[in-house]
Every structure is written in C-alpha cells, then in structure tokens.
Structure 1
Amino acid sequence: MCSGDLTAFPNVLFYAWRTIETRRLGMRKPRDFDAELKSLEDKAKTLKDRKVRQLGELVIATGADALDIDTLAGGLLDLADAGNVARKDAWRKRGAGFFRGGKDGAPPSAGGEQ
C-alpha cells in the first residue's frame, strides 16, 4: 500500500466526508422539541393512570374495599408515618407473600392488628 492509496479505508473516508459535509452545509436533522415533550407528557400520564388503576386493584384484592374511606385513609397514613424499621420490614414481607400467593399474604381480618 502506498501512502497516496485511499482505497484501503473506504468506510473511514465516507464517514469523514459525510461529517465534513454535514457540518459545512448545516444539514443536521432539526429536533421537534414540542413533539418530544408531548410524547413524554403522554408517557407520564399513562404511567400515572396505570399506577392509580393498580392501587385500586390492590385495594380490592386485599379486601380493603370493605372498609370505609376514612378508616382506609387513616391506616395508610399510619403506615406512611411508621418509623419502626422492623415493623415496616414485617409489612414488606407480608406484602411480598401476598403477591406470591402465599398464606402469609392473606388479606387481614377486619379486627386484625397490624
């Protein structure tokens, strides 16, 4: 191969030429930021809707839909405010058992203590 032989690297030369031409002519594909933002907003709305639906399904599956809304809200607030790590860990294990279908995850009775 002699130093003037450019056929040895055709791909490199093509990409280098294309990069130079793109910069010289300013031929970058413009981005449609409005369309991208709308797409992201639609995805976020879809995810939020799915989360709300899944929470509703969880309430029904656990039998918590039999509770009045004030009791359910109070229980959830107590759960969110619980500072005891061991207690939260026990709840987490019980929840995991519920999703696996084990007997540890059976819906609690109305008089059960959490």
Structure 2
Amino acid sequence: MRRPRDFDAELKALTDKARRLKDQKLHQLGELVTATGADAFPPEQLAGVLLAAVEASDNSTKEGWRKRGAAFFQSRARKNAGTDPQESGRDPARDGGAIPPGSKDRA
C-alpha cells in the first residue's frame, strides 16, 4: 500500500519557495535600480518615471526601451567577462569552482 501524500508539507514547501522567489525578485530589482544609476533620483521622481512607463501605450516606444535594456545587459556582460569573480559579483564556488581564464588566482 502506498504511503499517503502530506499535502500540508508540500503546500508549505511551495509557499516557502514562492516567498524566496519573491524576495529574490525584489533584491534583483533593487540591484537593477543601482546598476542603472537610477538610485540617484529622489524616490518620488523614480516612482513617477516608472508609473509613466507602466501607463505608456505606444508599442514602438516600449520596443525601444526593451532594445536599450537588452543592450545594457549585453554591455555589462561584456564588461564582466574575464574579470575577477569578486568584482563581477560571481561566486566561483557556486559556478562549480571553475577559475575564469585570465584570473589572477590561476596556478
């Protein structure tokens, strides 16, 4: 006979995972604000800019913003390629312990 599923434990695990993902998303949004330099704006001005973006209905404008954002992330990825893992925010232990090429720590 099969053991009955513990739905309460599964639901709690899913709730915990959802909370962790929500916290991670919030943390990443904060990092994005800092990385773009938008943390220099007063909170009211930043909120106004974001509200205007949410209310924008022009698809060509939104597509332009998307392309600019994609270019921003690509340029950051190129800048971080080949740098020290600590400077780029990467953790070599989480990356499988691999040392990037050209790193000072290579033997």
**TM norm. shorter chain > 0.5:** yes
Choose from 50, 70, 92 the match for 2:44: 70
Deviating above 6 A after TM superposition, structure 1's stretches of 4 or more consecutive aligned residues are: none
Q: Which of the numbers 21, 43, 49 marks the counterpart of 1:47?
A: 21
1:8-41 CA-to-partner distances (Å, cap 9, x unmatched) read: xxxxxxxxxxxxxxxxxxx121000110000000
Q: How does 1:12-91 map to 2 (within 5 A)?
A: 27-91=1-65
Percent pairwise identity: 61
- Normalised to the residue count of structure 2, the TM-score between the two structures is 0.69
Q: Any unmatched runs of 5+ in structure 2?
A: 77-107
Scaled by the length of structure 1, the TM-score of the pair is: 0.65
> Larger Rg: 1 or 2?
1
Q: CA RMSD in A?
A: 0.9
The answer as to 2:68 corresponding to 1:94 is yes
